[in-house]
Structures are given as C-alpha cells and as structure tokens.
Amino acid sequence: MASGNRLTPRQKMINLMYIVFLAMVALNVSSDVLNGFKQVEDSLAKSNAGIMSKNQKLYAELGQLKESNPEKATVWYEKAVGVRSMTDSLYNYIEYIKESIVKNADGKDGDVNKIQRRDNIEATNFIMLSPAVGEGRKLCNAIDEYREAVNGLVSARESQVINSWLSTELPENAISDGKTWQSSMFENVPVSAAITVLTKLQGDIRNAEGEVLGVLKSGVDEGDLRVNRINAFVIPSSRNVMRGSKYSAQIVLAAIDSTQTPDVFVNGKKLEGQVNGYYETVAGSVGTQKLEGYIEVPLPDGSREQLPFATSYVVSEPSATVSNTMMNVMYAGIDNPISISVPGIPLSQMNASMTNGSLTRNGNGWTAKPAKVGQESVITVTAQSEGRSVTVANTAFRIRQLPDPMPYIAYNDDKGTSKKYKGGAPFSKAYLLKSDGISAAIDDDLLNVNFRVLGFEMVFFDSMGNALPEVSEGASFSQRQKEALRRLSRGKRFYISRVRAVGPDGIERTLSPIEVIVN
C-alpha cells in the first residue's frame, strides 16, 4: 500500500513553474527570472520539509509496531532502516553538490541560501560536467543504484511511480545528439537553476522513500485474515471427468471455526464421516452434472444456519485430440511434429505409441518418423485415470513420399542477403559466376527440407543452335561449365537439366530442368 505522498496541487504548480523556468534558461534571462528560480527553490525546500516530516512519522509508526509485535514487524522495520540509510546518503550527497556549485561560483564562503552569482554558468559546467570533477555522472549512477534498490522492495505498481520520479532515461533525439543525462540537465545552466533542479531531485527522492515506507508498513499486516462474511465454496479437482473415472471436490467454508465441524448435505443427503468437506462420486452418464446442497453451521445462540452452494461438472466420453501441425498426412524419412492432448489429463499422465515408424516425446509435443511409404501409421494414445491406463484414441495417418524438390542457384545479392534463383527470369552474370553450383530443396512454406545434389548437366547453344552439354562434378560447377558461363553474353540462355538429388528418405530422383537467362 502506498504511503500517500502523491503530488499536491501546490506541488504540481511548483513543478510547472520549474519546467517553465528551465525552458527559459536557453534565453538571455533577466535578473527577475533568476529571482524566480529562487522563489521556486524556496517552495521546493518547504515541500521537501513536509515530505520528510511525513516520512519520519512512518518511521516512528514502524518502530512502534516493532516494539508491540517484534515477531511480525522486526523484518519490515529493518528494511525501513536500510531505506533511510540509502535515502539520507543520496540526499546528503546532492546537498554536497549544491554547496560545491555555489562555492565554485561565489568563493569558499559561498552560501546555498544566499547565492551571489546566480547567473554563473561556468560553475555548474565545471562541477557537474568537467572530467576533473564529474559530479553529474556520479549523481546519475547514484540515482540508478538507489532506484534499483528501492524497486526491489515494492510491487510493480509502486515501482512505476518511483521510476517516474527518478528516471535518468533520455528521449531518442537527445541520445542521437550524443547527450547524457547530466549534460541534458546541467549543461550551460546558471547556478540558480542548477540549485533548483537539485532541490527538486531531493524532493523526488523523499517521495520515493515515502512510497517504499508505505509498502513496508502495510507488509506488517500482510497475512492477517479479516472476515466480515461467510460463504460456502465447492472446489472440484476437475470439472471435466471421463466416464468411468471419479469426480472429486472439496466443499468448504470461506472462514471456519476449528473447534466445530459443520454438517455438509449434498443433493439432499448428509455426508457421513467427511473430513474438511471432501466429496467423491463415480461419474456415470455423459453430460453436465449438477451438484448442489448446503452447509449447516451452528451459531453461538444454539441455532443452526444453512449456507447453500451449487456447482456443476462435465462428464465426457474418453477422448483425445491428435493433430499434425504440418498437414493431415505425414511424410516418410523426416520428423513430423505431432500435438497430442487429452482434456482434463496432464501431459505427465499421457503416453502414445505408433505403428510403421517411431514416436518420441519432444517437450510438450511429439515427433513422428514414419518408416514405409504407402502404409498407414496409427497413433495410439493412453492416459492414466484412477491408477489404470485407459486407451483414449487411435488415429490413423497416411504416409506419403516427399515431393520432388526444386533445383536452384544460391547467391548473395549486393546487400549480402542470401537468395535463390529458380530460373525463368533474367539473372545477373556476376551473381552467376560467384555461385558455387546447384542446390535443391522443398521450401513451399509447408515443408522445409534440403536435398543433396549428386550431379547435373548444363546445356549451352552455339551460334548455329547446336546443343553443347557439359556435365558437372557433383553439386559444383565443373571447370568447363565455368568457362562456358564466362563466354555467355547478355540475353543468352542455357538450361540446367538432369539434376539428380537424394533427400532424407534416401530416394534418388531426377528433378525438373530450369532455364537461365543471362542478364
């Protein structure tokens, strides 16, 4: 629970003035504007004092809780002490930075409350941004460390609020300009404005401290049970039950008296010998089954009150869902992903087997690898129910041979992107000469299977139209083929034919030819 240190209307007005003044720093501001910074800084200082007072009250309340209930409150009080130490350390460090800036501007006797050279820019730049001092970078790191530390003590809701107060992130345009958090906050900022910025940051830190303290204080009461009404609940083990198995549920009160056991009536009959309202019955007919009754509770005056309850559960025939995530058939020689599920049964209590191939579990799914083409593969699914194995599905799949792949020339375009040329369109001679040979694969968005090319033939034509075949050396272009490619001029065509390839199913096949048009 948050501490309640939200921004008041007065604080919102101060922050708005603060933003307006910062926006005017880039201009040649007058002494009146610098006096305005002093007014905003004074208002921020008063606001910070109020926040600190509220936080001190929270520390005192946590201390009182520790004294009255040390077993519950000590751990939260100790966390609060750690928050106070971190917050005071960061707060005092910022106060030291303010004093350093003022003394650099006004001399060793400079006073934060009586700044003389309020328009001095060099002092802020030197203390916060110079490599010799670099307090701005150190401050940014200190804020990040503090924010991460306190966020570890609160929930996401409070963490979001704290991050809004103590963010050191920059917009993308500032990052692209090479700015850092410290340069965006303090570069070329006059002393008066810099002190105002740092005072506001001190207030944000105190606000974050109060947010954390509110959460720690509420944590003292965490786990206490507060009851203002009593209800009856039915807690079933499962609402989906297979025919022949058992339906079980707990019928309990939201709040109970451990010295007395209430009587439970289900469908007009009292549960005899029940413990904690445990109810069990055999699921008979299929469909939605209603379960209703009441719990009878003795009252202090000797009377008895009946608290009704009603629920339902579904009894279904033994079944399973078996789906091939690729298609409604399986292919021999490759891994086919299979999804198997049984309503109401966890994966750990299911098993499956397969004919004409092998079936193995793969995480939450299965992998089927059929053996022979033309024969069916039957997947049998069993589930454990009430200590026995029940067959819930027998699903048959047709086994097909992998389709023929498509031959192609693999190449990289001018951007280095891998592409495949499959013929029929003009193709750059430069790309052609850089390629190694011919590949083949099935890549139709349904299957993605690579094949191994065993050999191929390239058919060129001379000026008389005579065909000049050249045979490859495996999947790579032969030397004679490469020489023929170099002699080709723009607009010439040749054919890649008799491509022999073998896939993971071990079947060798001859692929369709492709026409290459040299560009």
Q: Which fold has domain 321-400?
A: Immunoglobulin-like (2.60.40)
Q: Residue 27, SS3?
A: coil
Which pLDDT does position 514 carry in this prediction? Answer: 93
Q: Residue 239, SS3?
A: coil
Bridge partners (DSSP) of residue 458 are 470, 496
Rounded CA separation 368/123 (Å): 74
Q: What is the DSSP string of 272-306?
A: TT-STTEEEEE--SSEEEEEEEEEEEE-TTS-EEE
pTM, entire model:
0.41
Same CATH topology for 232-316 and 321-400: the answer is: yes
- Calculate the CA 359 to chain-centre distance: 32
Rounded CA separation 211/205 (Å): 10
Closest CA to 47 of 99, 8, 20, 84: 8
Which pLDDT does position 189 carry in this prediction? Answer: 87
Are 388 and 345 within 8 A, CB to CB?
Answer: no
Which pLDDT does position 26 carry in this prediction? Answer: 42
Sketch the domain layout of the chain as residue ranges. Answer: 9-220, 232-316, 321-400, 406-518
Are 329 and 398 within 8 A, CB to CB?
Answer: yes
Which pLDDT does position 363 carry in this prediction? Answer: 86
Which pLDDT does position 150 carry in this prediction? Answer: 92
Q: In Å, what is the CA distance from 48 to each residue of 35, 77, 279?
A: 20, 23, 61
CATH architecture type of domain 232-316: Sandwich (2.60)
Which pLDDT does position 208 carry in this prediction? Answer: 92
Helices of type H across 155-285: 156-165, 172-176, 181-186, 191-220
Consecutive H or E run containing 365: strand 365-370
Closest CA to 280 of 232, 231, 234: 234
Which pLDDT does position 254 carry in this prediction? Answer: 60
Rounded CA separation 77/14 (Å): 33
User: What letter would DSSP give residue 154?
Assistant: S
Q: Tell me how far apart the terminal alpha carbons of the chain are, to the nearest angstrom.
A: 72
Rounded CA separation 254/351 (Å): 38
* Tens-binned pLDDT, residue by residue, of the chain (519 aa): 444 456 666 666 666 665 555 555 444 455 555 555 666 777 787 888 888 999 999 999 999 988 988 888 899 999 999 999 999 999 999 999 989 999 998 898 898 888 888 888 898 899 999 988 889 999 999 999 999 999 999 988 899 999 989 988 887 766 767 789 988 888 888 888 888 889 889 999 999 999 999 999 888 866 443 344 566 767 776 655 666 667 777 776 666 555 566 788 888 888 887 666 678 888 777 777 888 999 887 765 567 788 898 887 767 666 666 665 556 788 988 898 888 887 767 778 889 999 999 999 988 889 999 988 888 999 999 988 767 788 888 889 999 889 999 999 999 998 889 999 999 899 999 999 999 999 999 987 778 899 999 999 999 998 888 999 999 989 999 999 999 999 999 889 999 999 999 998 888 999 999 999 998
